[in-house]
Amino acid sequence: MTKTYIHGVGMTKFGNHSDRTLKSLLLDASRQALEAAGRPKIDAVFVGNFLAGSMSNQEILGAIVANDLGLGYIPTAKVEGACASGGIALRQGILGVMSGEYDTVLVAGVEKMKHANTPDVTQAINAAMDTDSNEKHAGLTFPGFFGVLAHRYFHETGATKEHLAMVALKNRENALNNPLAQFQKATSIEEIMNARLITEPLGLFDCSPMTDGAAAIVISRKPSSIHVRASALVSGPTQMQDAAELLSIPAIGESGRRAYEKAGLGPEDIDVIEIHDCFSMTEIIAIEELGFFKRLEGWKAVETGHTKPGGKKPVNTSGGLLSRGHPIGATGLSQIYHLVHQLNGTAPNQVEGARIALAQNLGGTGSYSAVHILERL
């Protein structure tokens, strides 16, 4: 089977780019990745994006990248999978390489959200739920799902709001060392615990922010020092009331299981991890689903410090969605950007000797999960 390698990565700073357009962010990250890869001939482009149509009145992102970067008349497409759009775009590129159709593919992700107000963004993001459902009519929001999950998690375990705060604090401390992260102001458990409530028990620091930004990757069948050892994607329940077990997000567990199987590896082999902490609660569920810690015990690992940069399973050394920021379509690719730096030994919060890295990108309330495992050769 054809193998896929990473040749170059690019990323804009995440944060507020009120002075820049969606297109300029997308082209900036793409240009960086192309130059890092040595300007190879590109055979196809996939762009991960969720809200450009509804919030920037802009589609045809694939064609814009090919045209404005002079890549020629090549196949391109935009890929949508809510917050997993970037991870799914990467997977589409990998499948294109594995099939033999393309030698080298540019995958980019972008989102621009900061120009809109919070109620409008909350409304737009609700498109990541099943809007033709009694749940939507009840007034459930996207963050609300994770609030419901958190209350039940507290009820069934010894976890408290303070454990959620520990996740948020860890990721903020990691972001302080990442110059591309959105939030670079130090905080404290007290400030996090006392922040205004968004959807109980989740407060402001438990929720990933609105962010502008872009990230891009060049992949190829031609060998490089970073091998994509596995790519997996699955769908899961699209409604909260459909979950067989509320405290499990089966898309995460199953995408992880498939990725481990393809890679011939297990959770014990992974040195550094970027997971989709759209909410502090989600990070705890994900470290359980991916097999790093036992079910309903992820909160204990957080308390012990196992997920900190010096811990036995460092999670979100980039700052995660919570503090690196979450420009929706770019998030899955920014995880890869950071992990490639980890494997090259050039990352903020560098994990000494990291050789195997795992990225997990979630869409909706568990509607999609993409997992990629990377290996330094």
Partner 1 sequence: MKVYTCCGHETVVKRIYCPSCGTSDIQEQEISDHGTIYSFTKIHVPPVEFAEIAPYNVVLVQLMNTTAKVTGRLMGDVSIGDTVELDRVENGAYLYKKV
CA 206/CA 145 separation, integer angstroms:
13
Residue 233 amino acid letter: L
Shortest reach from residue 138's CB to partner 1, in Å: 4
Instruction: Judge whether 346 and 180 are in contact, CB under 8 Å.
Output: no
Estimate the crossing angle of helix 280-289 against helix 142-156, to 10 degrees: 60
Instruction: Judge whether 326 and 181 are in contact, CB under 8 Å.
Output: no
Q: What are phi and psi of 31, to 5 degrees?
A: -60, -45
Q: Which one of residues 39, 41, 152, 312 is an interface residue with partner 1 (CB under 8 A)?
A: 152
Contact stretch for partner 1 (CB under 8 A) within 88-96, 145-153, 183-191, 348-356: 145-153
Residue 151 is a binding residue for partner 1 (CB under 8 A):
yes
Shortest reach from residue 260's CB to partner 1, in Å: 24
The tokens of 290 are what? 């991916």
CA 124/CA 119 separation, integer angstroms:
9
Contact stretch for partner 1 (CB under 8 A) within 63-71, 163-171, 199-207, 320-328: 199-207
Instruction: Judge whether 106 and 42 are in contact, CB under 8 Å.
Output: yes
Q: Which one of residues 69, 95, 176, 246 is an interface residue with partner 1 (CB under 8 A)?
A: 246
Shortest reach from residue 259's CB to partner 1, in Å: 23
In the shown chain, the binding pattern of residues 65 to 104 toward partner 1, with x for contact by CB under 8 A and - for none, equals ----------------------------------------
Residue 235 is a binding residue for partner 1 (CB under 8 A):
no
CA 8/CA 169 separation, integer angstroms:
31
- Is residue 207 part of the annotated active site? The answer reads no
- Is residue 17 part of the annotated active site? The answer reads no
143 or 329: CB nearest partner 1: 143
What number of chain residues touch partner 1 (CB under 8 A)? Answer: 35
In the shown chain, the binding pattern of residues 154 to 183 toward partner 1, with x for contact by CB under 8 A and - for none, equals -x----------------------------
In the shown chain, the binding pattern of residues 2 to 21 toward partner 1, with x for contact by CB under 8 A and - for none, equals --------------------
Residue 138 is a binding residue for partner 1 (CB under 8 A):
yes
Pick the catalytic residue from 163, 306, 326, 341.
Answer: 326
Burial of 258 (C-beta count, 10 Å sphere; 0-12/13-18/19+):
middle
Q: What is each CA distance from 298 to 6, 166, 237, 283, 313, in whole angstroms?
A: 31, 12, 22, 9, 12
| Cα-based angle 301, 306, 309 (whole degrees, multiple of 5) | 145
Contact stretch for partner 1 (CB under 8 A) within 46-54, 102-110, 157-165, 198-206: 198-206
Residue with tokens 């002079």: 70
Q: Which one of residues 2, 67, 134, 188 is an interface residue with partner 1 (CB under 8 A)?
A: 134
Residue 123 is a binding residue for partner 1 (CB under 8 A):
yes
Rounded to a whole number of angstroms, the distance between the first and last alpha carbons of the chain is: 18
- Contact residues toward partner 1 (CB under 8 A) are 118-120, 122-123, 126, 133-135, 137-141, 143-144, 147-152, 155, 196-202, 239-242, 246
Residues recognised as catalytic: 83, 326
